[in-house]
Amino acid sequence: MTFEEAQKEVDDWIKTKGVRYFNELTNMAVLTEEVGELARIMSRTYGEQSFKDSDLRGSLDDEIADVMWVLICIANQTGVDLTKAFKKNLNKKNTRDSTRHLENKKLKNQQ
């Protein structure tokens, strides 16, 4: 699925089943909530925190998808073309940041 297809799928779902988009600030709050749920799974799976019974309902792939869903909602309602935005971001990384990480002594010391 391309970004364009994902944006259309989300938009179609919102318009047929979701009634309407939440406003932008509500979606920002929802995004923060979803990132928190992703962080909880990450900290318990890869970090030092232990799982609680309530944590076992979530899964990493589902939480990542929830974050993507809300990001796509925000892109749709603010007119961001994710394909163009991502290509522009990659271009920035390949120009401005092309050697930044290779030259980072902190990264080299931890190999």
Taking only the tens place, the pLDDT of each residue in 94-108 is 998 888 888 888 887
What is the number of domains present in the chain? 2
Domain encompassing residue 105: 82-111
- Considering the domain architecture, whether residues 88 and 71 belong to the same structural domain is answered as no
What's the pLDDT band for 54 if we cut at 50, 70, 90? Answer: confident
- Considering the domain architecture, whether residues 23 and 73 belong to the same structural domain is answered as yes
- Considering the domain architecture, whether residues 111 and 62 belong to the same structural domain is answered as no
Query: What is the spatial distance between Cα 44 and Cα 72, in angstroms, rounded to a whole number?
Result: 27
Contact in structure between 60 and 41 (CB atoms under 8 Å): yes
Q: Where are the alpha helices (DSSP H) in the chain?
A: 3-16, 24-45, 60-78, 82-95, 105-108
CATH number of residue 26's parent domain: 1.10.287.1080
- Considering the domain architecture, whether residues 41 and 94 belong to the same structural domain is answered as no
- Considering the domain architecture, whether residues 91 and 67 belong to the same structural domain is answered as no
| pTM for the whole structure | 0.86
- Considering the domain architecture, whether residues 49 and 86 belong to the same structural domain is answered as no
